[in-house]
Amino acid sequence: MQLLALALYHQDNRQLPRVLRFRPGRLNILTGESETGKSGVLAIIDFCLGRTKPGLPDNPIDRTVGWYALLVEFQDGGRMVLARPRPAGETTNEAFVRSGDQSLSLPGAGELVANTNAAALRGEVSAHLGIEDFRFQPPAGTARYAFDVSVAQGALFCFQNQDEIAASKTLFHRQTEDGIAQAIKDTLPYFLGAAGPEQALRQHRLGEARREVRAAQRKLDTARRQREVLDTNGITLLRLAENEGLLSDVPAAPDADTVHELLRQALSVPPLAPINSDIGDRRQELNEERRTLRAQLQEFDAALATVDRWQRRSFDFTGELHLQVDRLKTLDLLGPEQDHDTGVCPMCTQRLEHRDPSVQDIVTLTNRLSEELEQAAGVQPVRQEHLRSLQAQRESLAERLKTNGVLLKELMASDEHLVRLQEQHLRAAHLQGRIAQSLAHDRGPTTDISQLRNALASAQDVVSILEEQTANDDIPAETERRLADIAALMTAWARRLKLGQSDEPNEAGISFNKLSLVIRRPEDRLPQERVGSNKNYVGYHLVAHLALHTYLRKHNRPVPSFLALDQPTQAFFPSKPRDASTHPDADWATVTEYFRLLHDVTKLNKGKLQIIVCDHANLPDDWFQAALIDNWRPDEAGTRNALIPPHWLS
């Protein structure tokens, strides 16, 4: 793929597009003063090839341009228009694509309407370039994602911006951006022809097979651990089953098959029926009877206490009455004194305020008391009989209460036995449940492990076959061999430009691991950053990319057939010269040799390589002037030419 034209369309569509035309298969030089937009050309080409972030300058492009378009031609003669609208923000995904034959040209401003996106644009360009349906698979264990190889990676070999072509440590376009260096390492073997979809597919299958081996090994190890756990648990369950009466005569050290069979026997034992008992009702009856007997016993104790109190009080009362009666009987000894006037004091013969009782009154009282004592003596036998009856009834209640206690104690002992028996039944049922669960996880003593062992062996066989196949690929060695062919061209051209460290027997090459230049000397290897001076940095960038593209074109590799360079002669001028073509102190002989090499390489590739250079230099040589595609310097009328036409800004 080579470039035919680059067009910028004004935002209002009223202006004619600004068109910059290129010559395929030749050296194309765009020269001019600084700040004319030369560096923007490379960024616009990169953007039109599908880059999401354009990295374009804000002014004056931001104020004027509405669309960018690129007309490209492929090796088979087909053409494509690749157009992108100026992004409103930092990025845009919109695109316009049109395909056709050699009659296809740039579209009119009114025809530019987004009809696809950047990803589809890259896909169509990749298909026309001949990039195969190749999905790069990162090595197993890395934290990277697979991606489809496309022109997005191929374009990284086609650009050298002003700050890249003079870099002291890096060699490729956008190499310092996140993920770009790794993308170059991942795809460079493919673009060199050292690896293709077949090798990538075998590498992918090998990675998948190795993952399957690891997975099969993990499953086998897990099964073995589970087998060990099941064997240990199985023996434990056998001992428990023996203790609970589900098994008998269990061997001391059974093997796995015996454990499995005995557990099934324990599981086949019919479950013990639940124990039904009326002990609870009987215990409640005895407790009710006990409460009743205790209440009755308390009533008899209260009655006996009452009788006892009556008895004691009666004894005390009758004893006092007997004593008083005995005292009163002495009145029977009185003679004439019985008739004494009780109203007169016998001592002083004075009248008493209250008359004393007469002897007859006292005798009457004594007789009545004697009668009452006789009556009390008659009641005593009845009371004794009642007391004996109460005591007998109490003793009967006490005996019944004692019997109740014995029955209740026996019932509680029987209940504890039934509870223990019930608990044993429950333990046996629970144990059978554990046995069933263990057997459910253990589908067979040895079958699963045997199957997993066979699966692991089968996966290992697949890995062995794929390793043997991929060993023949040896992509790293093949990549280094092709880089060695490129190094031969680099070394020859470095000596032509008389770059530092290019003397024999030193050899210049590309380090695949570091993606930088390396000088191989007999005593050591010199990295890129130590070759010294901007002249050498620029020179080695030139020879490296020229050699790389010459190799790609020789082997018809699917990389765009152009190399775009910005300011390759910057090392020979002071910083930001207004017009390097008029600078008297430049090493014009070396500058001429640099451009002459670019011219000769395009001739060497016989029209298969297009080189586009944006630079300040303007050499008078005929071959240089023939390569000019535009000169952005003031014309005879003083009008300053640039990427953005002056009248667009007015």
Q: Of 384-388, 401-405, 548-552, give the range with the top mean pLDDT.
A: 548-552
The confidence score (pLDDT) of residue 445 equals: 46
Residue 576: pLDDT over 60: no
> How much is the average pLDDT of 172-178?
94
First to last CA, the chain: 37
Residue 268: CB atoms within 10 Å: 10
pLDDT at 201: 65
Ranking 23-27, 237-241, 339-343, 405-409 by mean pLDDT, the lowest is 339-343
User: Could you tell me if 566 and 165 are in contact, meaning their C-beta atoms sit under 8 angstroms apart?
Assistant: yes
Answer whether residue 129 shows pLDDT above 60. yes
Give the mean model confidence (pLDDT) for residues 24-46: 92
Task: Quickly state the pLDDT bin for 177 (edges 50, 70, 90).
Answer: very high
Average pLDDT, the chain: 82
Q: Decide if 97 contacts 78 (C-beta within 8 A).
A: no
Structure tokens belonging to residue 239: 């001992």
What lies within 8 Å, CB to CB, of 432 at 6+ separation is 246, 266, 267, 269, 271
310's enclosing H/E stretch is helix 279-328
pLDDT higher than 80, residue 362: no
Residue 333 has pLDDT above 70, yes or no: no
Strand partners, 160: 565
Give percent of the chain above pLDDT 90: 38
Residue extents of the structural domains in the chain: 203-269+445-458, 279-441
Averaged over 389-402, what is the pLDDT? 84
pLDDT at 99 over 90: yes
* DSSP code string of 496-554: HTT-TT-STT-EEEEETTTTEEEEE-SS-EEEGGGS-SHHHHHHHHHHHHHHHHHHHHH
pLDDT at 403 over 90: no
Q: What is the mean pLDDT of residues 377-403?
A: 79
Helix or strand or coil: residue 1?
A: coil
pLDDT at 509: 95
Please give the C-alpha separations between residue 17 and each of 110, 154, 526, 528, in angstroms, as whole numbers: 11, 29, 49, 43
What is the sign of the dihedral through the CA atoms of 402, 404, 408 and 411?
positive
The pTM for the full model equals 0.64
Question: What's the pLDDT tens digit per position in 489-499?
Answer: 999 999 999 99
The one-character DSSP state at 630 is E
9 and 65 Cβ atoms separated by less than 8 Å: yes
CA–CA gap between residue 360 and residue 331 (Å, rounded): 9
When pLDDT is averaged across residues 398-425 and rounded to a whole number, the result is 74
**Residue 607 Ramachandran class (φ > 0 left, ψ -120 to 50 alpha, else beta):** left
Secondary structure class of 120 (helix, strand, coil): helix
Quote the CA–CA distance of 3 and 562 in Å, as a whole number. Answer: 8
More confident residue, 399 or 172: 172
- Percent helix / strand / coil, the chain, rounded to 5: 55, 10, 30
pLDDT score at 318: 67
Q: What pLDDT is stored for residue 518 in this prediction?
A: 95
Q: Which residues of 169-197 are buried (b: 16+ CB within 10 A; e: fewer)?
A: ebbbbbbeeeebbebbebbbbbbbbbbee
Q: What is the DSSP letter of 137?
A: -
Tokens of 45: 């080409």
- Lowest mean pLDDT, pick from 406-415, 442-451, 623-632: 442-451
Residue 357: is its pLDDT beyond 80? Answer: no
Please tell me the predicted confidence (pLDDT) of residue 392: 86
Measured distance CA(2)–CA(562) in Å, rounded: 6
3 state DSSP class of 519:
strand
pLDDT digits (tens, 9 = 90+) for 460-477: 888 888 887 776 667 888
Distance CA 26, CA 627 (A): 8
What Rg, from alpha-carbon coordinates, does the chain have? 61
Determine phi and psi for 318, rounding to 5 degrees: -65, -35
pLDDT level of residue 141 (50, 70, 90 thresholds) = low
* 132 in Cβ contact with 196 (< 8 Å): yes
Do the beta carbons of residue 629 and residue 28 sit within 8 Å? yes
**pLDDT at site 255:** 67
Residue 469 and residue 474: Cα distance in Å, rounded?
Answer: 10
- The whole-number pLDDT of residue 472 equals 65
Q: What is the pLDDT of residue 208?
A: 79
Angle, helices 279-328 vs 359-441, to 10°: value is 170
In the three-class reduction of DSSP (H, G, I as helix; E, B as strand; rest coil), residue 228 is classed as: helix
**Between residues 619 and 352, which one has the greater pLDDT?**
619
Alpha-carbon gap, residue 371 to 365, rounded angstroms: 10
> CA–CA separation, 223 vs 226, rounded Å?
5
Q: Is the pLDDT of residue 375 over 60?
A: yes
CB of 643 closer than 8 Å to CB of 36: yes
Residue-wise pLDDT tens digits, 242-290: 777 777 777 776 766 677 677 777 777 776 555 555 666 777 887 888 8
Answer whether 95's CB lies under 8 Å from 50's CB: yes
Q: What is the DSSP letter of 357?
A: P
For 647: left if phi > 0, alpha if psi spans -120 to 50, otherwise beta; the answer is alpha
Q: Helix and strand tally (H, E) in the chain?
A: 16, 16
Q: Which of 204-213, 402-411, 623-632 has the highest mean pLDDT?
A: 623-632
